Structure 1
Amino acid sequence: MAQATIGNSEFDRDTVVTRRVPGPGSDAEPGADHTGALAAYDVDLSARWSILKALNGGYLLAVLGRALGDALAHPDPFTITAHYLTASQPGPAVIRTESIRTGRTLSTGQASLVQTDESGAEVERIRVLATYGDLGALPNDVRTAATPHAMPSYENCLGADDAPDGQPSLANSSEIVGRFDMRLDPATAGWAIGQPSGLGDMRAWFGLADGRDHDPLSLLLAVDALPPTAFDLGLSGWVPTVELTAHIRRRPAPGRLRVFVATRNLACGFLEEDTQVWDSADQLVAQGRQLARVKLG
């Protein structure tokens, strides 16, 4: 991948938030009491991260995560839960944050993203509750039975341009596809040629198209970046997220990520997706779970 300087990448530019109303104590050191501090941020949501006519939930989570990282006393998301209330649209939006509690090692806050509709009314799009800390301060003590799934090499996986003869390329299917350096495990890509496995799995190598290395903020994008597992169940169309929780466990090592997503229960028009994100050093760096709606029939 070509290397891009962090801070100048497409992802960084498209997640910029600008503080509108400084909250009291916003510049305090970690451990200071920010409780009750309020802040508001302006953001211009980019259409480059859209799927069909809606913006990707992981991109939106990263935008909100950036605002909370500025508003709270600690820099890194540890756990963040978003409820997607209405579909966000490209264009101006406002994020309002509130610090709920500040402790020595963790800070908890909430954020809400709102937009103005055609009538001039303010509409809340997303509401988030999150706890932040300092991933760099955590002890390197790992005791886990989790291991990454076996997967073909990056070179032996399928990119957006690797459509068989006569099949449409995925490269132009949505704006967001061009933002990614993503290659799907062939075992979970049969849906692209009308041959889904029916298992509800999705696996891929994942990076950003401009080569930006990953950090905790881009992991919020990664937990919701792969095609929906509903495709592997033989369903198509938009699968809107109702609720998404991400746990960020470690700062990722440089290089591509491997992302594994699975659903085991599609019932009554809703499915869950469980996600694991592994870095180039075989570290489990993020986990996610979401509830999504599937339009049947």
Structure 2
Amino acid sequence: MAQATIGNSEFDRDTAVTRREPGVYEARVSAGWTVHGAANGGYLLALIGRALGDTLPHPHPFTITAHYLGATRPGPALVRTTAVRGGRGLSTGQASLCQTAPDGTETERVRVLASYGDLDALPADIRTTAKPPAIPPYEHCAGRNEGRDRGRDEGRDPVPDAAAALSERLDVRLDPATAGWAVGAPSGRGEMRAWFGLADGRDPDPLALLLAVDALPPTAFEMGLTGWVPTVELTAHVRRRPAPGPLRVCVVTRNLAGGYLEEDAEVWDTQDRLVAQSRQLARPVVKRAG
């Protein structure tokens, strides 16, 4: 099968928006990017980010924050955007994704505030202590289905895959050290590491990075918890345009308290560059494994 390209892939089609009038975009939330029947937060961020990119004078998201007000279900949606400020290097806008409730009223599902710029205009100077995550080679990391099959062979019950629709569209290869949850043997550490790509081979771009920061299994799984972990708020920083090829993603949780946890993510490209970062607050709706 021919490899999909940027602008001609399932991800591009399913995040497409059509301008109805200035500041109002029609969209269709695809069932292919859902978890427990609700659209994945990173996918929604990319969809809304595409509408903001059409509204604002700068092309790329630099920082984008979303508050998820309720579950977004597959089907028609409207994205309403407003340009807040325009500057030489950055422009700022806000957006809301809305759907029609059963009673016919328009209901806001996601609200976003973002600043956009031009990644290609950034200076090349880098001074950092950040290092790429240590992940085994791609071919030594198992896909989610492979891990589940191994768990069954070993007589252990794998965690039910509520993200089946989403995982079919991704090529996620988990570091075995953070994949014990998939075979019923979580490590107890709040960390997830993986190679990440789209299943159809489309290379990453700035919008795909917004998906990547929220596409790995929840770190709560490796802490011995199972179930849905919906995002309350997610902030992503896009640092550079990614090079072609699979990304390395590392997500860490240091504190699960009061029914909420944070997840800090880093995304690295094939040139060992830190291309995106994020932090989110999530609320596990979980039960203890076993």
TM-score by length of 2: 0.94
1:195 matches 2:185 = yes
**Aligned partners of 2:200, 2:284: CA distance in 1, in Å?**
32
Of 165-174 and 95-104, the range deviating more from structure 2: 165-174
Tell me if structure 1 keeps the 8 A contact 2:159–2:184.
Answer: no
Question: Residues 169 and 179 of structure 1: is their aligned pair in 2 closer, same or farther, counting only changes over 3 Å?
Answer: farther
**1:129-156 CA distances to partner (integer Å, 9 max, x unpaired)?**
0000000000111100000121100000
Structure 2 match to 1:131: 115
> How many residues matched?
281
1:14 matches 2:4 = no
**1:129-185 CA distances to partner (integer Å, 9 max, x unpaired)?**
000000000011110000012110000001122121155597785200100011000
Tell me if structure 2 keeps the 8 A contact 1:80–1:129.
Answer: yes
Amino acid at match of 1:242: V
- Residue 268 of structure 1, aligned match among 242, 252, 258: 258
**1:86-133 CA distances to partner (integer Å, 9 max, x unpaired)?**
100100000000000000110000000000011101110000000000
- Residue 186 of structure 1, aligned match among 176, 192, 208: 176
**1:187-209 CA distances to partner (integer Å, 9 max, x unpaired)?**
00001111111110000000000
Structure 2 match to 1:121: 105
**1:21-65 CA distances to partner (integer Å, 9 max, x unpaired)?**
12xxxxxxxxxxxxxxxx100001100000111110000000000
Tell me if structure 2 keeps the 8 A contact 1:154–1:183.
Answer: yes
1:41 matches 2:31 = no
1:235 matches 2:219 = no
Question: Residues 274 and 72 of structure 1: is their aligned pair in 2 closer, same or farther, counting only changes over 3 Å?
Answer: same
**Aligned partners of 2:95, 2:115: CA distance in 1, in Å?**
11
**Aligned partners of 1:173, 1:284: CA distance in 2, in Å?**
27
Question: Residues 237 and 172 of structure 1: is their aligned pair in 2 closer, same or farther, counting only changes over 3 Å?
Answer: closer
Question: Residues 50 and 296 of structure 1: is their aligned pair in 2 closer, same or farther, counting only changes over 3 Å?
Answer: closer
Aligned-residue CA RMSD (Å): 1.5
Partner SS, residue 89 of structure 1? coil
Partner SS, residue 103 of structure 2? coil
Aligned ranges 1:208-219 → 2 under 5 Å = 208-219=198-209
**Aligned partners of 2:48, 2:190: CA distance in 1, in Å?**
29
Amino acid at match of 1:11: F
Amino acid at match of 1:227: P
Structure 1 match to 2:211: 221
Tell me if structure 2 keeps the 8 A contact 1:269–1:296.
Answer: no
Aligned ranges 1:134-173 → 2 under 5 Å = 134-162=118-146, 163-164=149-150, 165=153, 166=155
TM-score by length of 1: 0.92
- Residue 295 of structure 1, aligned match among 281, 285, 289: 285
Percent identity of equivalent pairs: 68
Aligned ranges 1:18-37 → 2 under 5 Å = 18-22=18-22
Tell me if structure 2 keeps the 8 A contact 1:205–1:259.
Answer: yes
Tell me if structure 2 keeps the 8 A contact 1:161–1:170.
Answer: no
Ranges in structure 1 where 5+ consecutive residues have no aligned partner: 23-38
**Aligned partners of 1:72, 1:172: CA distance in 2, in Å?**
36
Shift of 1:294: 1.3
Structure 1 match to 2:271: 281
Partner SS, residue 6 of structure 1? coil
- Residue 74 of structure 1, aligned match among 58, 64, 82: 58
Structure 2 match to 1:55: 39
